Structure 1
Amino acid sequence: MDSIENHQVQIRYTQIDRRNDSVIFTDYDFQVNDSIYFYPASTVKFPTAVLALERLNTTDTLSMDTRYFLEGDTIESTFKQDVSEIFAVSDNLANNRLVELLGFEVINNTLRKKGVTPVRMSHRLGQHSDDLRTKPLIIYLNDSTTGITKSTLNKTPLALNLLNITKGSGYYEDDILINEPFDFSSKNYFPISSQHNLLKRVIFPQNFEINERFNLSKEQREYLLSVMHTVPRKAGYNPKTYYDSYCKFFIYGDTKENIPEHIEIYNKVGFAYGTLTDCAYIKDNQNNIDFLLTATILVNKDGIFNDDEYEYDEIGIPFLAQLGREIYEQELKRK
């Protein structure tokens, strides 16, 4: 609390109460402001995964198990595998393949129509390609024939006009230090309120009007919920490299011990440019409590971006882990 200005923390915590068949949300905010920018990093993979599943339902020949690869690429995948990799280890390539399926215009417009606003997706992750045209997908229709999706041209993204859109005192570009604030105006924009609203729609669709829900089949929704809380070791990854809290910051982020079986964390994290964010629905089946928590923190003491010197392990992850524990303790005491 003595260095709030340095860390640009935003938190939204939602208490969940049940009366008869109704689920009632009570939101509590700390410094949440859609006009104050933070870099969302991999949290944008959450809507991409949801919308990709929804997109499959518009074409008879596509399903979660459909095999495909990108034109000009050799990596073969399935939509089911991509969605799993996005949540288990936050895989950039899996996300980018689904972006090629959808296109930024579709992602942005569909989210807005469903009331998940404000939002602006404008670039792929990991590889900073400025190519506005999506790549076609080569889809296996059966063992002997393939189909191809159309390439679409996305509009040139407008510069974001938000508070704190420039950050720090300098940044590295091509190993050269530029002594001026880093400009995020062309980057993705996915504030706390939008992340939280997306999570509510996925976990509690019955609380929203039909036009605000995602059109997922029962099988798709069950699969999505399953991969959202499955820890990497249960998805087949080496637990030494991908420990349980690898992509789960709240409560357990500062430990490499296994998360107890009775705790389920349905979430998506993001960390890049010194910014850590977690958007989570946390459920304790043993103590019969559940709550929603979304938070972000900036950890960049030297004010220089792209120097790979961020206090993720020293400040960011311990803060989010302790925040999760504090809210969890509040929930245990709450009647």
Structure 2
Amino acid sequence: MFQRKYTGLIDSLMYSRQADFAAILKNPKKFEVQIIYTQINRDSLNRPTLKSYYYEVDKNRYFYPASMVKLPAALLALEKINGLKAKGIDKFTTMRTDSARAPQTTVRKDTTAQGGNPSVAHYIKKMFLVSDNDAFNRLYEFIGQAYFNEHLWEKGYKDALIIQRIHGKFDLETNRYTNPVRFVEGKKTLHRQAELHNKKQYSYPIQNPRKGKAHIDKQGKKVNQPFDFSDHNYISLQDLHDMLKAVVFPEVLPASKRFNLKPDDYQWLRTCMSAYPRESTEPAYPKKPDSFRKYLWLGNGKQPAPSAIRIFNKVGQSYGFMIDCAYIVDFEKKIEFMLSAV
């Protein structure tokens, strides 16, 4: 039996369930677990008060965010599309992606969308329902690399650097270039955005983003050295947790950390984040269980989620890292809380 070391609420709860958490508690440096739990209390007028608790949270400890980058992508894409309102454009307007150079590719149709027309709204839906990677890449291209990062930093999300698409044949340099984009209504072009090129060189926010003992290089050979993530995306768990707050509880954040969204944007985000794949018809995912992309509450079980529970979340999983940022509500028992972990 190992000695208990109490540092806060979360680890005291873990110590009370040692059979489940013994490995992590014995060797926290090996597993590099970080947890943020936010307790939510409401007053007589239903106004929320949030109090957060932390376990091993460290913005300087690198983890690859994987699909977690889709959360800020959704927020920034909606904010940018709202800036085009005067041109008659909204999140449902058809969006055509063009190509200006290799390895960029075009998008004319989306067979999973109503009418076959791609849009910001539909890309967001696919990102949250099944973590669609191409949907993220298309929003990354619409947002642009410079806008993506500098708008996050301006809002106070300083511990973030988004410099790559997810998968594809792009490298650090070609990820600086983002495709031309058009918004159309029938045969009429409402807005045309030229290819964007981010000429700025950003310093990496983590001093030594190397992980592991060995890795497989691009030629398929084993290299007995840690993998260098310095040309990969980065977001701290705290920033991700706060971005989730910006969706669910924007009123508790300073105005500077909120996004310029309309009421129906918040509703769209919350609907897409909390939906189970079986509830979608466009696109349809009849074979995916409720637990798909709902790690913290449902794990890898195949049973349907309880009808009273909704999970508003985003997950990421790659390179041995697993992340989930969730707002979980039991409407019957009137219990709600936020939980983010890597």
TM bucket, shorter chain: 0.7 to 0.9
Change (3 A) 1:232 1:209: same
Question: Counterpart in 2 of 1:200?
Answer: 245
Is 1:239 matched with 2:239?
no
Equivalent of 1:180 in 225, 237, 245: 225
Q: Give aligned-pair identity as a percent.
A: 34
Question: Counterpart in 2 of 1:217?
Answer: 262
Equivalent of 1:40 in 37, 62, 65: 65
Provide TM-score, normalisation by structure 1.
Answer: 0.84
Equivalent of 1:89 in 123, 130, 143: 130
Q: Rg: which structure is higher?
A: 2
Out of 183-192 and 124-133, give the one that drifted further: 124-133
Structure 1's unaligned 5+ residue stretches are 297-335
Q: Quote the RMSD (CA, aligned, Å).
A: 1.6
The CA distance in 2 between the partners of 1:87 and 1:238, in whole Å, is 13
Note the C-alpha offset of 1:243. Answer: 1.4
The CA distance in 1 between the partners of 2:311 and 2:151, in whole Å, is 26
Q: Does the Cα contact within 8 Å between 1:133 and 1:151 map onto a contact in 2?
A: yes
SS in 1 for 2:161: coil
The CA distance in 1 between the partners of 2:210 and 2:38, in whole Å, is 30
Note the C-alpha offset of 1:156. Answer: 5.2
Question: Counterpart in 1 of 2:114?
Answer: none
Provide TM-score, normalisation by structure 2.
Answer: 0.82
Question: Counterpart in 1 of 2:318?
Answer: 272
The CA distance in 1 between the partners of 2:307 and 2:297, in whole Å, is 14
The CA distance in 2 between the partners of 1:121 and 1:8, in whole Å, is 22
Note the C-alpha offset of 1:69. Answer: 2.0
Note the C-alpha offset of 1:119. Answer: 1.0
Question: Counterpart in 2 of 1:12?
Answer: 36
Question: Counterpart in 2 of 1:307?
Answer: none
Amino acid at match of 2:39: Q
Out of 171-180 and 89-98, give the one that drifted further: 171-180
Is 1:226 matched with 2:252?
no
Is 1:133 matched with 2:158?
no
Question: Counterpart in 2 of 1:67?
Answer: 94
Amino acid at match of 1:203: V
Question: Counterpart in 1 of 2:49?
Answer: 24
Question: Counterpart in 1 of 2:3?
Answer: none
Is 1:50 matched with 2:75?
yes
The CA distance in 2 between the partners of 1:3 and 1:211, in whole Å, is 39
The CA distance in 1 between the partners of 2:33 and 2:135, in whole Å, is 29
Q: Does the Cα contact within 8 Å between 1:86 and 1:92 map onto a contact in 2?
A: yes
Amino acid at match of 2:76: L
The CA distance in 1 between the partners of 2:264 and 2:131, in whole Å, is 22
Change (3 A) 1:128 1:45: farther
Amino acid at match of 1:162: I
Q: Does the Cα contact within 8 Å between 2:292 and 2:300 map onto a contact in 1?
A: no
Amino acid at match of 1:168: G
SS in 2 for 1:214: coil
SS in 1 for 2:297: coil
Amino acid at match of 1:110: H
The superposition leaves residues 169-225 of structure 1 with CA deviations (integer Å, 9 ceiling, x where unpaired) of 211122111111100112111111000111112111111233322111111111111
Amino acid at match of 2:298: Y
Change (3 A) 1:11 1:128: farther
Out of 269-278 and 122-131, give the one that drifted further: 122-131
Question: Counterpart in 2 of 1:151?
Answer: 195
Structure 2's unaligned 5+ residue stretches are 1-24, 100-105, 110-117
